Amino acid sequence: MSKKIILMGTDTVSGVAAEILDSIIEASKIKTLPYGNDIFTKECREKICKIFEKDDIEILPMMSGSASNSLAISSFLRSYGSVLCHSESHINKDEGGAPEFFSSGGKLISIFNESGKLIAEDLNNKINSLILKGPYNSRPSGVSITQLLENGTIYSIKEIKAISDVCKKHKLFLHMDGARFSNAMAFQESLSPADATWKIGIDCLSLGATKNGAMAAEVIIFFNSELAKEARNQLKQTGHLISKTRFISAQLNAWLNNGLWLTLAKSANEKAIYLSKKLSTLDEFQLLYPTEGNEIFFKIKNTTYKSILELNIIPNLWNKLDDEMLVIRFVTSFETEQSELDELISRIYNKFN
């Protein structure tokens, strides 16, 4: 008996939220100037200024998350510079070398910590040892952190503030990879976007909507307008100046309207927490990190993994620890339905309980 395949390894298997589709259709009805000189992009900037409580924000609507991160980073990273990040960060492990390419050879210098987080003190030590090597070696230019973290947890405001203090001390820019920033914000309901970013020293934020309801919409938010100028210089040359930019902005506008971005993220988070709790009760599933967004990581045996696949459930195979043990990831999305979750849990319970 063949069961319906359940794709639960990434939120990019999802479709597009209805409000966003409507907004695309609406934007198609008029003629307007290309390359971002349109009313939708203007509106998008205004919405973001309002949400982030800052008047002089500059934005670049993008269609790709890799490009959003890489262009943000190369706005302050020259070929002879370096950016410090966690070893397990997306930019270091999963962008195919895009930040290095955008900066024509800039270096990512990675620091490991079990928590998945960059720790301010480690950062400071690393910078000091790099500076010692003198002016001819890769000069630290900036730092990049991810919120929601790659392991599904959240940096506290205090942790980010400590990192940002190190950056200020060494005159480094601070970038935030916010591919799942909406999930992090939805989890910390009482926190304002301003308090979560520029008020604690973030210079630019790569804010992603694609994983959370959009078709292909990301936006680089520059709290530092000097960086925006440099990124804009590189936009066309990297092939990321989209002629009908209005359709990215139209997606973002719907997504940011009436808190839809948070509503969608909250729904995904709730599903993840539910799934996390249910599977954690099983001996075979060792939860690796607290579930603070829409990502859940389990350490399981190779044989368990095979059984899951046989149930037509497809998680993401995150890492092979050794011949026996693996790490898998489940990711829920804005459109994950309770029934789908229940079916997944039921199949696994039947097998392992």
113 binds its own copies (CB under 8 A): no
Q: One symbol per residue from 205 to 224: x for binding its own copies (CB under 8 A), - otherwise; what is it?
A: -----xx---xx--------
Residue with Cβ nearer its own copies (56 or 121)? 121
Least gap, CB of 77 to its own copies (angstroms) = 11
CA angle 261–263–268, rounded 5-degree value: 95
Contacts with its own copies in 249-288 (CB under 8 A)? none
Q: Which is nearer to its own copies, 15 or 290 (CB)?
A: 15
Other beta carbons within 10 angstroms of residue 350's beta carbon come to: 9
Rounded to an integer, what distance in angstroms lies between the CA atom of residue 221 and that of residue 230? 13
The answer to whether residue 338 forms part of the interface with its own copies (CB under 8 A) is no
**Which of residues 105, 113, 121, 281 is near its own copies by CB under 8 A?**
105
Question: Per rule CB under 8 A, is residue 2 in the interface with its own copies?
Answer: no
Asked if residue 7 binds its own copies (CB under 8 A), the reply is yes
> Residue 196 Cβ, how far from its own copies at the closest point, in Å?
24
Specify which residues 83 forms β-bridges with. 108, 142
Could you tell me the two tokens for 353? 């309980």
What is the spatial distance between Cα 276 and Cα 265, in angstroms, rounded to a whole number?
16
Binding mask 27-66 for its own copies (x = CB under 8 A): xxxxxxxxx---------------------------xxxx
Alpha carbon 316 to its chain's center: 17
Part in contact with its own copies (CB under 8 A); list of ranges 150-158, 183-191, 237-245, 305-313:
237-245
177 makes contact with its own copies (CB under 8 A): no
In DSSP notation, 123-187 reads HHHHHHHHHHT-TTS-EEEEEEEESS-TTS----HHHHHHHHHHHHHTT-EEEEEETTHHHHHHH
192 makes contact with its own copies (CB under 8 A): no
Residue written as token pair 């954690």 = 280
137 scored as a contact of its own copies (CB under 8 A): yes
